[in-house]
Structure 1
Amino acid sequence: MGEGQLLLKLQETDLELVRHRSELNALPEIKSLAQKRKSLAAAKDELLRVTGRRKDLETYLGELDEEERLCLEDIEHAQEHAASAMDYSEVQDIEYELSQLAKELDKIAFERKDYQSQLEAISEREAKGSSFIAKLEKAILTAAQAARDHASGIQEDIERCTRTREKILSGLPADVQKRYEVASKRYNGLAVERLQGSIPSICRMTLTESSLNDLKRAGALTECPYCHRILIVEED
């Protein structure tokens, strides 16, 4: 196989590689998997916030329990003091203290009810979030397996094309390889065209008789005078 045929085969193989890789990246299973992973990350972030709020509420309730314990101790001490009070003024002070402590206990009870209501709601939300994450993680494993199954055939095609490409390159001189790589990058994979009569196969600009004669004298591989791609005058 001549250099011209090898270059055409190389270009054909590279274009096939591009198609397979694009197909692999565009698999609906891959897109679905990416979306599920994004949803999982968002769900975990939200669960962290919910768990943090639940712990805060439990801390607040623990603080209220401690405040209540101290109030009850103060009430007990005030009652003991009242039993030994010697005058009316002292009794009045104790009654005022007990009144304030009773108000404090009412306030604690009110706040506890509010915090407990919030804790029940946030705990339920946390449980639902954990359940959702568990289901989503299971769905991701299933989706990942489906993506691998669908992608395996495409990956085999990519590996086959890669082996073919390496084999073709081994038959081309280093300078021709470099020339092809530069042109392929410049022209988005369409680096090589063949001469069909007096018309290059890609740019389709009809060559003059003078240009044709110049190209034929240049050899089997030359450059299109119009688009500057690698032009194959003789494939064999």
Structure 2
Amino acid sequence: MSEASNLLRLQEIDLELMKSKKTAAALPQRARVEAARAASKKVAGELTKIVGQRKDIEIEINDLAESKEFFSQKMTEIQTGTYNQDFRNAQEMEYNLSLLAKKIEKCDFDTDKLLPQLETVERAEANARALTDKLEREEAAQLDSFKQAMAQITDKVKALATERERIVAALPAKMVADYEAARARFGGLAVETLVGNRPSACRVTLQPSSFTDIRRSGAEVTTCPYCKRILVVSTEGEE
């Protein structure tokens, strides 16, 4: 390949590399993975609260059950005469039995209030765990898709980088330095072609004298007198 062709191909490669970098940064899977992780973190926080609420309710229900069992045992002891306290009369015993019965009734009442709360919290916990599983699957799927897309981009970038190294090695060091300087200055578009008497990038029509000088020089590669990009001379478009 000629120096002109190598320069144009070098620019094509660099523009493709820039495009690949932007494509990688804009992959939708990346945002979806981050969104799934953020949602999972939020759900995990909510799940921790819900589990705490469930445990608190369960502790209350267990405490009430133990209290009810205790009061029930005392009633049995009184009724069977094994209670370690002598009552002065039947009225006093009935009073104590009535008091214990009310305490048992209160335990049942409080338990009945807590059971619907426990059911609600258990449903919320089940829903949160199901959502956590769904988000984990979504994150895994998007991460796998992201890795596949990145692998394709990476393979392309490696191939382009290899070709770039070969082209750079074939060009004079001064030309490569000029190209890199122009590429940095013009945001990647360092090389333009002369089509007719108009450079393809700046599109400022050359003065007849400038056009004549370029043609007479016979140079394949020169510098645009206007924008100072590297100018590849082309016969395309000439009459």
TM bucket, shorter chain: 0.5 to 0.7
Q: State the Cα distance separating 1:57 from its structure 2 match.
A: 2.3
Structure 1 pair 74–226 and aligned structure 2 pair: CA distance change class (3 A): farther
Cα displacement (A) at 1:123: 1.7
Show the counterpart of 1:5.
Answer: 5
Distance 1:226 1:103 in 2: 101
Are residues 126 and 179 of structure 1, via their aligned partners in 2, closer, same or farther at CA, if it must alter by over 3 Å? Answer: farther
Shift of 1:204: 0.2
From the superposition, tell whether residues 177 and 114 of structure 1 become closer, same or farther in structure 2 (CA, over 3 Å).
farther
Asked if residue 83 in structure 1 is aligned to residue 58 in structure 2, the reply is no
Q: Distance in 2 between matches of 1:175 and 1:50?
A: 69
Q: Which residue of 2 aligns with 1:190?
A: 189
1:193–1:200: 8 Å Cα contact kept in structure 2? yes
The one of the two structures with greater contact order (alpha-carbon pairs below 8 A, sep at least 6) is 1
Task: Measure, in 2, the Cα distance between the counterparts of 1:114 and 1:181.
Answer: 77
- What residue in structure 2 maps to residue 168 of structure 1? 167
Overall identity of the aligned pairs, in %? 33
* Structure 1: runs of 5 or more not aligned: none
Q: Tell me whether 1:53 sits opposite 2:53 in the alignment.
A: yes
Report the Cα distance in structure 1 between the residues aligned to 2:63 and 2:116, rounded to whole angstroms.
Answer: 16
How far 1:145 moved relative to its partner?
4.0
| Other-structure match for 1:200 | 199
The CA distance in 2 between the partners of 1:184 and 1:139, in whole Å, is 41
Distance across 2 between alignment mates of 1:166 and 1:60: 73
RMSD, matched Cα: 4.3
1:231 aligns with 2:231: yes
Deviations 1:173-229 (A, max 9, x none): 555444433433443321221233432111101122344477787x76554343343
- The question of 1:137 aligning with 2:136 is answered yes
| Residue 68 of structure 1: how far off its partner (Å) | 5.1
| Distance of 1:74 and 1:167 partners within structure 2 | 95
Q: For this pair of structures, how many residues does the alignment match? A: 229
Q: What TM-score, normalized by structure 2, do the two folds share?
A: 0.67
**Structure 2 gap segments, 5+ residues each:** none
- Give matches, 1:99-114, under 5 Å: 99=99, 105-114=104-113
